[in-house]
Amino acid sequence: MAYVLPQLLIETAPRFPEKDAVVFQEEKISYAQLDEVSNRLAHVLKQSGVRRGDRVGIYLNKSIASIVSIFGILKADAVYVPLDPFAPVKRLGYIIKNCGIECLLSAANKLESIAAMVAENSPLQRVILTDHPPNPAAPAGLEIMGWEQVLQASSAAPEIKSIETDLAYILYTSGSTGDPKGVMISQLNAFTFINWAHDAIKVRADDRVSNHAPLHFDLSIFDIFAAVKAGATLCPVPTDIAKFPGKLAEFIARQKISIWYSVPSAWVLMLSHGQMEKFDFSPLRTIIFAGEVFPTKHLRRLMEKIPHAEYFNWYGPTETNVITSYQVRELPRDPGQPIPIGKACNNMEVFAIDDKDRLVTAAEMEGELLGRGSGVAQGYWNDVAKTAALFVRNPLQPHYHDRCYRTGDLVKMDAEGNYIYLSRRDHQVKVQGYRVELGEIEAALLNHEEVEEAAVVALQNGEQVTYLKAFVVPRHGRTLSSVDLMRHCARYVPKYMIPEVVEIRESLPKTSTGKTDKKLLAASV
- 316-336: b or e for each residue (b if 16 or more CB lie within 10 Å)? bbbbbbbbbbbebeeeeeeee
Max CA distance (Å), the chain: 71
Contact 71, 22 (CB under 8 A): no
Residues near 91 by Cβ (< 8 Å), separated by ≥ 6?
84, 180, 492, 493, 494
Contact 356, 341 (CB under 8 A): no
Which CB atom, from 120 or from 240, has the smaller least distance to other proteins?
Answer: 240
Minimum separation from the CB atom of position 86 to other proteins (A)? 3
One-character DSSP codes across 200-256: HHT--TT-EEEE-S-TTSTHHHIIIIIHHHHT-EEEEPPHHHHT-HHHHHHHHHHTT
Which CB atom, from 5 or from 270, has the smaller least distance to other proteins?
Answer: 270
Minimum separation from the CB atom of position 186 to other proteins (A)? 31
Minimum separation from the CB atom of position 240 to other proteins (A)? 5
Which CB atom, from 74 or from 95, has the smaller least distance to other proteins?
Answer: 95
Element (H, E) at 41: helix 31-47
Minimum separation from the CB atom of position 451 to other proteins (A)? 16
Which CB atom, from 185 or from 456, has the smaller least distance to other proteins?
Answer: 456
Environment class of residue 398 by beta-carbon count within 10 Å: exposed (0-12), middle (13-18) or buried (19+)? exposed
Which CB atom, from 297 or from 495, has the smaller least distance to other proteins?
Answer: 495
Which CB atom, from 158 or from 236, has the smaller least distance to other proteins?
Answer: 236
Minimum separation from the CB atom of position 84 to other proteins (A)? 9
- Applying CB under 8 A, the residues found at the interface with other proteins are 61, 85-86, 88, 239-247, 265-266, 269, 273-275, 432, 483, 486-491, 495-496, 498
Minimum separation from the CB atom of position 263 to other proteins (A)? 10
Which CB atom, from 491 or from 515, has the smaller least distance to other proteins?
Answer: 491
Minimum separation from the CB atom of position 126 to other proteins (A)? 24
Which CB atom, from 103 or from 502, has the smaller least distance to other proteins?
Answer: 502
Beta carbons within 10 angstroms of residue 361's beta carbon: 11
Which CB atom, from 60 or from 227, has the smaller least distance to other proteins?
Answer: 60
Minimum separation from the CB atom of position 487 to other proteins (A)? 4
Strand-pairing partners, residue 30, are: 20
Q: Indicate the SS3 state at residue 382.
A: coil
Minimum separation from the CB atom of position 242 to other proteins (A)? 6
Contact 438, 516 (CB under 8 A): no
Contact 209, 258 (CB under 8 A): yes
Q: How many CA atoms lie within 13 A of 374 on its CB side?
A: 17
3-state SS of 45-95 is HHHCCCCCCCEEEECCCCCHHHHHHHHHHHHCCCEEEECCCCCCHHHHHHH
Contact 323, 363 (CB under 8 A): no
Contact 393, 403 (CB under 8 A): yes
Which CB atom, from 202 or from 491, has the smaller least distance to other proteins?
Answer: 491
Minimum separation from the CB atom of position 486 to other proteins (A)? 5
Contact 394, 372 (CB under 8 A): yes
